[in-house]
Amino acid sequence: MKTVQEGHQVSPFNEERYRLLIDSITDYAIYMLDPKGHIASWNPGARRFKGFEESEILGQHFSRFYTEEDRLDHLPERALRIAAAEGRFENEGWRVRKDGSRFWAHVIIDPIRDGDGQLLGFAKVTRDLTERRNAEADLKRSERQFEVLVQGVSDYALYMLDGKGNVSNWNHGAERIKGYRAEEIVGEHFSTFYTVDDRAAGEPTKNLATALRDGRFEGEGWRHRKDGTRFWAHVIIDAIRDETGELKGFAKITRDITEKVEAQKALTVAREDLFQAQKLEAIGQLTGGIAHDFNNLLMAVLGSLEILKKRLPDDPSLMPLLQNAIQGAERGAALTQRMLAFSRRQELHMAPIGVAGLIDGMMNFFERSLRSDLTIRTDIPDSLPPVLSDAVQLESALLNLVVNARDAMTTGGTVTITAIDVHFAQGDDKLQPGHYVKISVSDTGEGMDPETLARATTPFFTTKGVGKGTGLGLPMVQGLTEQSGGRLSIDSEEGKGTTVSLFLPVARLEDCPEEKKPASDLSAARPKERLTVLAVDDDALVLMNTSLMLEDLGHTVIEAHNGREALAALARTDTIDLVVTDHSMPGMTGSELASEINRQWPGLPVVLATGYAELPPGEDDRLQLPRLPKPFSQNQLADVIATMLGSAS
């Protein structure tokens, strides 16, 4: 074979060396074409991946390697013209093997000329790039799939930053969470999403520096949307480097976890509320138990003082002391009523109450409770429907609120009592839908800060000085309203005063059983004959006191310290006319004793003495037991006996 290089003919020795070199190459098809494109030589590389033996292909036109489409498009002829005209042709495309299969080829065609520039033919080099092309196709397909995946994620903002922190791409999740379209935000610095305070503190720069130093930054904080609203974000920033370690940018993942954080806060509040409720329940149970025991002590003290007052001579030097002791015991009894109201164990005498009449009747009490620099005004429509509650306890609650209002106004002011008719189509966690009367007591005093307001109804919490408040006033009022089926609300602001409102349900006739009227003339109501009364109480002091009061009324008393002893006493004699029993006793309660008496001795009257309503549901309604509220006086004891005997006759 003769070749020409730089106008010089190659020697046979060098020609042989070139042939050996070309024949040793198997990864490239290297062969010669004549000026018309016919194959003039064929190397092993051409034979390996085109499949033709040299004897089969020499003299054939090289266009046979092209696809039908390329031949129809005259690509082979055009390739030779370009090579001849421009000195080189290079491209990639599909080529066909002997067996008809295709491969992706990289092709170079160089013209071969002699020293005079006469075209002798073409040198053609072909390389099979099918594997590389398939790998590139796989990579592109993977990239497309990854892009589809990234764009399909809507719960996360996934986007890239360049090395300076500018946004370089943007997925649909980022658009949904942050509100920016890609064309609005690509090219902008990612600090746009940070709050003003965070930008001023250099947080964006610090976060990128951490990612650059450690390879990763992770944190949480407030971020801004396009519309200016804020959301709580969980953020991850990863530094992206190439195989040489050069920084290419940052991958940023942002998740809106506002709902999760709010849910966690709500759970924390719920747990705190549950803890507070459990604590209040424990305090309530403790308070109720203490009040019950204190009632028993007051029962013994007041009863003994009453008997002593009747039996002592009218000595001016002794009577004031005795009266002072009685008043002290009565104040203790009032305190137990507050404690029982707080613990929800006080027995309420539910009845319809005219709010206007009740408040009008208390005005003298209210005015005497206020200082001279304070005024009181009311706005109570006469047309208000009656509410269902305990009149005595409601009076105590309103007086308590007026006194609290007085103490909140240290430099004069006005107490305002109002009442309005309200309807609730929808209730809340403490109030059922329905018809209510809202009674409000307002002052123009100091008001409360949020922390004090939050603790206002906490038992034993008080802002008054030592010895000036028990901290049970507002809890007692709250207990009354909730036992009545209503709700207490407090509105207060520092420097603008406080308004405490009681929402009490409007009374219905079916909710209000007819009250039994006590005998007004005690001497006329008292029976002339002596009765035999069985007194039952597990507290020896109370039992002795009850017996003394009954004996002083002229009755014969048989004592029993528990239900079993009482039943045994009844079994021994048939002369017992009346049973007066405590309710809260171990082993057998007073109501259980009354049930057994009703079964074995039907018609025998039983009076239940109790400091709070703790009877099993429905039992008292079935037995219709008359009640003596502890601590009771001798007159109250005489009244209930007279009432029972009067109804029996």
Q: Distance between CA 344 and CA 476 in Å, rounded? A: 9
Residues 199-250: pLDDT tens digits?
999 999 999 999 999 999 999 999 999 998 999 999 999 998 988 888 989 9
Q: Distance between CA 105 and CA 126 in Å, rounded? A: 6
Per CATH, the number for 4-134 is: 3.30.450.20
Q: 462 φ, ψ to 5°?
A: -150, 145
DSSP letters spanning 127-172: EE-HHHHHHHHHHHHHHHHHHHHHHH--SEEEEEE-TTSBB----H
Positive/negative CA dihedral, 556, 559, 564, 568: negative
Q: Distance between CA 77 and CA 75 in Å, rounded? A: 6
By three-state DSSP, how is residue 390 classified?
Answer: strand
Q: How many alpha carbons fall within 13 Å on the CB side of residue 116? A: 2
Q: Collect contacts of 367-374 with beta carbons under 8 A, ≥24 apart.
A: 369/399, 369/402, 369/403, 369/406, 370/402, 370/406, 370/415, 371/406, 373/411, 373/412, 373/413, 374/406, 374/409, 374/412, 374/413, 374/414, 374/415
Strands (E) located in 213-323 = 216-224, 230-241, 247-256
CA distances from 197 to 194, 203, 204 (A): 8, 9, 11
Q: What angle do CA 13, 15, 21 make, to 5 degrees?
A: 105
194 forms beta bridges with 223
Q: Collect contacts of 16-25 with beta carbons under 8 A, ≥24 apart.
A: none
pTM of the complete model: 0.40
Q: How much is the pLDDT for 272? A: 73
- 4-134 and 153-256 have identical folds: yes
User: Among 526, 476, 487, 155, which residue's Cα sits nearest to residue 345?
Assistant: 476
Residues 481-529: pLDDT tens digits?
888 888 888 898 888 889 999 999 998 766 555 544 443 343 444 444 6
User: Among 502, 487, 491, which residue's Cα sits nearest to residue 443?
Assistant: 491
Which residues of the chain fall short of a pLDDT of 50?
1-8, 10, 13, 465-471, 515-528, 613-614, 616-621
Q: Residue 383, exposed/middle/buried by CB under 10 A (0-12, 13-18, 19+)?
A: exposed
Q: What angle do CA 556, 560, 566 make, to 5 degrees?
A: 100
Q: How much is the pLDDT for 2? A: 39
Q: How many CB atoms sit inside 10 A of residue 70's CB?
A: 18
Contact yes or no for 478/430 (Cβ under 8 A): no
Q: Distance between CA 336 and CA 189 in Å, rounded? A: 69
Q: Residue 307, exposed/middle/buried by CB under 10 A (0-12, 13-18, 19+)?
A: middle
Structure tokens at 102: 């295709």
How far does CA 519 lie from the centroid of its chain? 56
Q: Distance between CA 122 and CA 34 in Å, rounded? A: 6
Tracing tokens 């999740």 back to the chain, one arrives at 173
User: Among 153, 160, 211, which residue's Cα sits nearest to residue 185?
Assistant: 160
Structure letter (DSSP) for residue 507:
P
User: Among 473, 474, 469, which residue's Cα sits nearest to residue 454?
Assistant: 474
Contact yes or no for 525/519 (Cβ under 8 A): yes
Structure tokens at 321: 């002391």
Q: How much is the pLDDT for 515? A: 47
Q: What angle do CA 75, 78, 83 make, to 5 degrees?
A: 125
Contact yes or no for 374/444 (Cβ under 8 A): no
Tracing tokens 């024949």 back to the chain, one arrives at 23
Give 217's contacts (C-beta < 8 A, 6+ positions apart): 207, 208, 210, 211, 235, 236, 237
CA distances from 422 to 173, 296, 380, 433, 438 (A): 48, 42, 14, 11, 7
CATH topology of domain 153-256: Beta-Lactamase (3.30.450)
489 forms beta bridges with 501
Q: How many CB atoms sit inside 10 A of residue 244's CB?
A: 5
CATH topology of domain 350-511: Heat Shock Protein 90 (3.30.565)
Q: Distance between CA 84 and CA 193 in Å, rounded? A: 60
Q: How much is the pLDDT for 520? A: 37
Q: Distance between CA 271 and CA 331 in Å, rounded? A: 38
Contact yes or no for 639/629 (Cβ under 8 A): no
| Amino acid code (one letter) for 497 | G
Give 104's contacts (C-beta < 8 A, 6+ positions apart): 92, 93, 94, 95, 128, 129, 130, 132, 133
Contact yes or no for 18/3 (Cβ under 8 A): yes
Cα torsion for 449, 451, 457, 459, to the nearest 10°?
-130
Structure tokens at 100: 């008809």
Q: How much is the pLDDT for 591? A: 87
Q: How many CB atoms sit inside 10 A of residue 385's CB?
A: 15
Give 477's contacts (C-beta < 8 A, 6+ positions apart): 397, 400, 401, 488, 500, 502
Q: 12 φ, ψ to 5°?
A: -55, -35
Per CATH, the number for 522-648 is: 3.40.50.2300
The ranges assigned to domains in the chain are 4-134, 153-256, 350-511, 522-648
Q: 437 φ, ψ to 5°?
A: -115, 130
By three-state DSSP, how is residue 111 classified?
Answer: strand
Q: Distance between CA 219 and CA 232 in Å, rounded? A: 11
User: Among 128, 124, 78, which residue's Cα sits nearest to residue 102?
Assistant: 128
